[in-house]
């Protein structure tokens, strides 16, 4: 045998080895909620952010699991001494997935669109403190605030502040175009959404996953079957806590119960009788029994809340005792308010935490003399009728956005139908207070006020129940935000 043929064999062997090493790494993630649009800058559905924010779309900043703000499209920034002027230096050579260049003009466009009159951005409040956005050159953006905003850099990391391009923005609802580590590949409605790795991303060498597939399986029993049969590698928001012992006993999975920013509330339409009457809302708060709801719907895997602030937050005050459960007292309160014996609808979205809580709340309200009719509706219907048109009496929903007490300062157009100048002023001072201790005091005041006004029935903090194969590493165990960056996830 000649040396030439030997080297040819060696080359062949190398090629085979290389091919094996390049075998595609694919991750399948199960999700409870399928969105109806893929544009996080115009739709409030949390799973849009869960799939696409910081994966397909990027924002100026991003956050770590600890909540610390990190650079993203903005490589660095400086803040003026008065805390009002932010100068961002943008990353160089960044391209959108459709090949167009990213520069300060895109940032200008994205911000002007979100701040525009009649903007459909679901978190318009993030942009309210901004006085002006300027682009002195292609790599620099200067944002000037009207007043200090303690959450500004954190807010700018969210999907609502994704830097979308003028060229592609109109198609983002169905074919999202961003600058992130993954490109949108396909979406089969009712079934799955696929992303593929973006080889041109600035940190692409550190990304292991070649393909990510999201499967939409809302029914926990079906989801459990899919996990058990190895169809799904990770289900980060699992809805059936009663099955945890089963997964814990299985060496293929690691099970974790972490926290989310999701306050689960029994929302009442404050703009509509009878819930415009504070006594009726207080009666509802008295009728519900949180311990029973958590035990029955969540199998004890949740922390009760008495107001609208997560129990793991630093400014938390325990207000769960504000309206002790007392069916007889609630009944008397409903009678005094003249609503005893009436029928109300409880429209619930198709998530296990909501439908299960609804069944228990229905029984608790019945005990207090209120006939609540439970309507289980599809997510698209819920978004349209409940969230957009405010056509509901009561609903159950988890508000998974961080720092979202500002929901109560969104005025009568928000689906709460809650309009209280005192709360609006309070949120104003919370969001402009730069001093941590003072802000915490204000946040406590806000929690107490919301509890006192019994704006909604405050139920529990949504746990982050994740079932992940043991060979998959890098999922966040607790979520300070709606998104889950996939660039750092590895499969062994």
User: Of 139 and 345, which CB lies nearer to other proteins in the complex structure?
Assistant: 345
The H or E element that residue 402 is part of is none
Beta bridge partners of 399: 263
* DSSP type of residue 23: P
Q: Give the whole-angstrom CA distance, residue 290 versus residue 360.
A: 10
Q: Which of 246, 277, 342, 345 binds other proteins (CB under 8 A)?
A: 246
Rounded to 10 degrees, the C-alpha dihedral 126/482/188/491 comes to 140
Cβ–Cβ < 8 Å for 150, 120: no
Positive/negative CA dihedral, 214, 400, 264, 115: negative
Among 221, 328, 336, 425, binds other proteins (CB under 8 A): 221
363 lies in the site for other proteins, by CB under 8 A:
yes
Closest CA to 31 of 476, 488, 492, 466: 466
The SS3 of residue 62 is strand
Q: Which residues pair with 303 in a beta bridge?
A: 461
Specify the residue, 175 or 376, whose C-beta has the smaller distance to other proteins: 376
Question: Cβ 278 to other proteins, closest distance in Å?
Answer: 28
Q: Which helix (H) or strand (E) holds 6?
A: helix 3-21
Q: How many whole angstroms separate alpha carbon 485 and alpha carbon 201?
A: 14
Q: How far apart are CA 470 and CA 177, in angstroms?
A: 32
Nearer to other proteins, 224 or 405 (CB): 224
What is each CA distance from 75 to 59, 62, 71, 202, in whole angstroms? 11, 11, 5, 12
68 lies in the binding site for other proteins (CB under 8 A): no
304 near other proteins, judged by CB under 8 A: no
Task: State the minimum distance, in angstroms, from the CB of residue 446 to other proteins.
Answer: 31
Shortest Cβ distance from residue 293 to other proteins (Å)? 8
> What character string, x for contact with other proteins (CB under 8 A) and - otherwise, covers 106-125?
--------------------
> With CB under 8 A as the contact rule, which of the stretches 129-137, 149-157, 363-371, 393-401 interacts with other proteins?
363-371
360 touches other proteins by CB under 8 A: yes
Interface with other proteins, residue 277, by CB under 8 A: no
Our finding on whether 376 is near other proteins (CB under 8 A) is yes
Among 200, 276, 295, 385, binds other proteins (CB under 8 A): 295
* Residue 307 C-beta: closest distance to other proteins, Å: 23
Query: Phi and psi at residue 352, in whole multiples of 5°?
Result: -55, -45
Q: Does the footprint of other proteins cover residue 138 (CB under 8 A)?
A: no
Helix (H, G, I), strand (E, B) or coil at 124: helix
Question: Least Å distance between CB 308 and other proteins?
Answer: 25
- Contacts (Cβ under 8 Å, ≥6 apart) of 402: 67, 154, 158, 261, 480, 481
What minimum distance in Å lies between the beta carbon of 26 and other proteins?
Answer: 27
Does the footprint of other proteins cover residue 224 (CB under 8 A)? yes
The reply on whether position 467 binds other proteins by CB under 8 A is no
| Nearer to other proteins (CB atom), residue 295 or residue 445 | 295
Please select the residue that binds other proteins; options are 36, 85, 342, 362, rule is CB under 8 A: 362
The answer to whether 90 and 75 are in contact (CB under 8 A) is yes
Interaction between residue 292 and other proteins (CB under 8 A): yes
Question: What distance, in Å, lies between the first and last C-alpha atoms of the chain?
Answer: 40
Closer to other proteins by Cβ: residue 241 or 306: 241
359: contact with other proteins by CB under 8 A = yes
Q: Give the binding site for other proteins (CB under 8 A).
A: 220-221, 224, 240, 242-243, 245-246, 292, 295-296, 359-360, 362-364, 366, 374, 376
């Amino acid at each position: 045998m000649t040396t030439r043929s030997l080297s040819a064999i060696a080359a062949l062997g190398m090629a085979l080895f290389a091919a094996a090493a390049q075998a595609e790494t694919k991750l399948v993630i199960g999700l409870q909620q399928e969105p109806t649009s893929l544009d996080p800058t115009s739709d409030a559905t949390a799973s849009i952010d869960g799939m696409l924010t910081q994966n397909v779309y990027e924002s100026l900043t991003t956050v770590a699991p600890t909540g610390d703000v990190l650079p993203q499209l903005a490589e660095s920034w400086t803040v003026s001494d008065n805390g009002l002027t932010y100068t961002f230096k943008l990353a160089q050579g960044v391209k959108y997935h459709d090949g167009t260049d990213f520069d300060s003009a895109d940032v200008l466009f994205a911000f002007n669109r979100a701040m525009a009159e009649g903007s459909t951005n679901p978190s318009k409040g993030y942009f309210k403190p901004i006085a002006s956005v300027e682009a002195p050159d292609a790599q620099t953006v200067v944002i000037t605030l009207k007043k200090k905003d303690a959450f500004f850099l954190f807010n700018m990391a969210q999907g609502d502040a994704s830097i979308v391009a003028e060229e592609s923005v109109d198609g983002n609802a169905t074919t999202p175009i961003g600058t992130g580590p993954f490109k949108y590949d396909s979406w089969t409605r009712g079934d799955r959404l696929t992303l593929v790795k973006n080889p041109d991303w600035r940190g692409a060498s550190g990304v292991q996953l070649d393909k990510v597939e999201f499967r939409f399986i809302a029914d926990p029993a079906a989801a459990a079957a899919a996990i058990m049969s190895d169809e799904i590698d990770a289900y980060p928001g699992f809805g059936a806590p009663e099955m945890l012992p089963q997964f814990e006993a299985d060496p293929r999975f690691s099970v974790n119960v972490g926290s989310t920013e999701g306050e689960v509330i029994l929302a009442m339409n404050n703009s509509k009788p009878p819930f415009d009457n504070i006594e009726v809302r207080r009666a509802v708060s008295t009728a519900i029994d949180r311990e029973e709801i958590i035990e029955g719907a969540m199998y004890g895997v949740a922390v009760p809340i008495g107001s609208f602030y997560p129990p793991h937050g630093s400014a938390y005050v325990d207000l769960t005792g504000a309206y002790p459960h007392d069916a007889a007292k609630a009944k008397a309160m409903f009678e005094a308010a003249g609503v005893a014996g009436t029928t109300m609808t409880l429209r619930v979205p198709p998530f296990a935490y909501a439908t299960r809580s609804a069944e228990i709340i229905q029984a608790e309200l019945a005990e207090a003399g209120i006939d609540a009719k439970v309507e289980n509706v599809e997510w698209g219907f819920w978004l349209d009728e409940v969230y957009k048109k405010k056509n509901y009496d009561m609903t159950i929903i988890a508000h998974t956005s961080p720092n979202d007490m500002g929901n109560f300062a969104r005025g009568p157009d928000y689906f709460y139908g809650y309009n209280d100048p005192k709360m609006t002023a309070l949120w104003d001072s919370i969001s402009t207070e730069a001093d941590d201790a003072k802000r915490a005091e204000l946040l406590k005041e806000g929690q107490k006020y919301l509890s006192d006004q019994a704006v909604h029935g405050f139920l529990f903090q949504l746990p982050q129940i994740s079932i992940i194969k043991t060979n998959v590493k890098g999922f966040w165990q607790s979520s300070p935000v709606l998104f889950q960056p996939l660039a750092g996830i590895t499969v062994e």
